[in-house]
Amino acid sequence: MEYRFTPAEEAFRQDVRSLVARHFPPSRPYEDSPAHRREWIDVLRARGWAAYKWAPEFGGPGWSAAQRYIWERETASNGVPAQLGGMGMMMLSPILQGYGSTEQCARHLPGILNNEVEWCQGYSEPGAGSDLAALRTLAERDGDAYIVNGEKVWTSWAHIAHWMFCLVRTQDTDRRQDGISFLLIDLSSPGITIRPIPTIDGMHHLNQVLFENVRVPIENRIGEEGLGWTYAKGLLTHERTGLANISLSIFLTRRLRGELAKQAELGANPEEGLSLRISELEMELSALEATELRALSELEAGEVPGAYTSILKLKGSQLVQRATTLFLEAAGFWAIPFTREAQAWNAPALPGPDWAAREVSRYFSGRAASIAGGTDEIQREIITKHVLRLR
């Protein structure tokens, strides 16, 4: 059953729109710059909305699932971030609040809320990506600490992070999901090496992280030893819902239509059939939104969508890739990356649409959407087993 918004929720929607329009109107759109990020986080803090998913006891507004949905959709539609704070805010904070000790919450949540401490996620390894239970990074007990040895890979933003939340193996067990623990690791600890992994979008965000006899205090373990898989499953539900990128795809399709209208005014003739493909994408996004609203209805009823997040993740990844591809086609032969070499040479601005180089980068980074947070194949396995009950 699709969720129907109440008059109070629609009033909240108007409040959100007014807030965004007041600070970032169409004449001054939000840009991903330090100045705009600082301004926006100050606005959110003043309203008590900086951590919009948090409960009041942790400093959040205590919004309902419907309010969170409205906030995410309206901010994305206007090109502003729903929240700042990176992985600490989006992914670690629900685990801390759900499973962390009072002392751990008191130590780490303020730095996340104030956007002062950066976090990264230590999950994937060379032999354990989508098959995460195969991880081999070892944490051996030594008095009041663990000694960690191993390797994490594809670690986003590790080079700027202060801390890592990390899955490690504390015991070999018959069932691979057992014997995994959840540690918080200070990345300034001796024995940690971080190496960059370049990517085709021209950005540095992925890294290899090596651990050699890294000492991690026992007090940095979340929950009980050996139950890290249980905690991680909850985190992956948050991650997969966010990685569906439904709001981003809606924002991209709306902006693409606007850019095509500008080209038409200038006498340009976009590729025939492009507008039709945008319409097809919009229809599929509407259908995916309906699925998201069904999940919202379950949340408001106190249920947990669970495996349905895999449907959102699978289809959402495919649609964001299609949206970025359409932008690339609209740019035509201006769809070339603006390289570091060109920046170093102080080359003049490239002709063509001013958004072309940016969307080329987004297109390349979007290729990973069907891998990050669990591959499309893994999502299909989950849907087959837990939604369709075919296995």
316-371 pLDDT per residue, tens: 888 889 988 888 888 777 776 554 444 444 445 556 677 777 788 788 888 888 88
Q: Which pLDDT does position 328 carry in this prediction?
A: 83
**Phi and psi based region of residue 148 (left: phi greater than 0; alpha: psi -120 to 50; beta: remaining):** beta
Question: Of 204, 208, 112, 191, which is closest to residue 149 (Cα–Cα)?
Answer: 191
- Residues 117 and 98: beta-carbon distance below 8 Å: no
**Which single residue is written with the structure tokens 């259908």?**
287
Q: Is the pTM of this model over 0.85?
A: no
Report the run of H or E that residue 145 belongs to, with start and end. strand 145-152
DSSP 3-state of 234? helix
What's the CATH code, domain 7-84?
1.10.540.10
Q: Where in the chain is the domain with CATH 1.20.140.10?
A: 243-387
pLDDT of residue 269: 55
CA 232 to chain centre: 15
Residues spanned by CATH 1.10.540.10 within the chain? Answer: 7-84
**Whole-angstrom distance, CA of residue 162 vs CA of residue 116:** 10
In the numeric block, the tokens 């504390």 are attached to: 170
Residues of the chain within CATH 2.40.110.10 domain(s) are 118-227
| Identity of the residue numbered 81 | P
188, 162 in Cβ contact below 8 A? yes
In angstroms, rounded to a whole number, what is the distance separating the alpha carbons of residues 26 and 36?
14
Is 239 considered catalytic here? Answer: yes
pLDDT at 242: 53
pLDDT of residue 24: 95
| The two structure tokens encoding residue 161 | 């992070």
Rg (CA), the chain: 22
User: Which of 157, 168, 60 is CA-nearest to residue 112?
Assistant: 60
SS3 174: coil
CATH number of this structure's domain 118-227, picked from the four choices 2.40.110.10, 3.40.190.10, 3.90.1170.50, 3.40.50.2300: 2.40.110.10
| Cα–Cα distance measured from residue 328 to residue 319, given in angstroms and rounded to the nearest whole number | 14
Give the integer Cα–Cα distance in Å for 206 and 212. 20
User: Looking at the domain that runs over 243-387, which CATH code has it been given?
Assistant: 1.20.140.10
Cβ atoms of residues 318 and 366 within 8 Å: no
Contact 225, 140 (CB under 8 A): no
Q: Is 95 helix (H, G, I), strand (E, B) or coil?
A: helix
Q: Phi then psi for 183, rounded to 5 degrees?
A: -115, 150
Nearest to 252 by CA among 302, 323, 157: 323
Q: How far apart are CA 12 and CA 261, in angstroms?
A: 31
* Per-residue confidence (pLDDT) for residue 368, from 0 to 100: 80
Predicted local confidence at residue 347, as pLDDT = 47
**Which structure tokens are listed for 24?**
């970032």
User: Which residues of the chain have a pLDDT value below 70?
Assistant: 1-3, 234-244, 261-272, 296, 298-308, 336-352, 373, 391
Q: Which of 72, 74, 125, 239 is catalytic?
A: 239
Q: For residues 15 and 264, give the distance between their C-alpha atoms in angstroms, rounded to a whole number.
A: 34
